[in-house]
Amino acid sequence: MISFDRVSKRYEQGHEALREVSVNIGSDELVFITGHSGAGKTTLLRMIMLMERPSRGEVIIDGQNLSTIGPRGIPRHRRNIGVVFQNHRLLMDRTVYDNVALPLIIAGYDHRELGRRVRAALDKVGLLNRERAMPVTLSGGEQQRVGIARAVVGKPKILLADEPTGNLDPALSAEIMQLFEEFNQVGVTVLIASHDLALISRLRHRIITLRDGRLVSGSKP
Q: Is residue 114 part of a domain?
A: no
What is the mean predicted confidence (pLDDT) over 11-37?
Answer: 93
Is the confidence at residue 13, as pLDDT, over 90? no
What CATH number did the domain enclosing 41 receive?
A: 3.40.50.300
Is the confidence at residue 39, as pLDDT, over 70? yes
Q: Is residue 36 part of a domain?
A: yes
Domain that holds residue 51: 1-80+158-164+189-221
Tell me the per-residue pLDDT of 45-69, one tens digit each, with 9 for 90 and over.
999 999 999 999 999 999 999 999 9
Q: Is residue 150 part of a domain?
A: no
Is the confidence at residue 88, as pLDDT, over 90? no
Q: Is residue 198 part of a domain?
A: yes
Between 135 and 167, name the one with better pLDDT: 135
Q: Is residue 45 part of a domain?
A: yes
What is the rounded average pLDDT for all residues in the chain? 93
DSSP output for the chain: -EEEEEEEEE-TTS-EEEEEEEEEE-TT-EEEEE-STTSSHHHHHHHHTTSS--SEEEEEETTEEGGG--GGGHHHHHTTEEEE-TT----TTS-HHHHHHHHHHHHT--HHHHHHHHHHHHHHTT-GGGTTS-GGGS-HHHHHHHHHHHHHTT--SEEEEESTTTTS-HHHHHHHHHHHHHHHHTT-EEEEE---HHHHHHHT-EEEEEETTEEEE-S--
Domain count across the chain: 1
Q: Is residue 53 part of a domain?
A: yes
Q: Is residue 42 part of a domain?
A: yes
What is the mean predicted confidence (pLDDT) over 101-130?
Answer: 93
pLDDT of residue 219: 67
What is the mean predicted confidence (pLDDT) over 90-119?
Answer: 93
pLDDT of residue 221: 66
Q: Is residue 96 part of a domain?
A: no
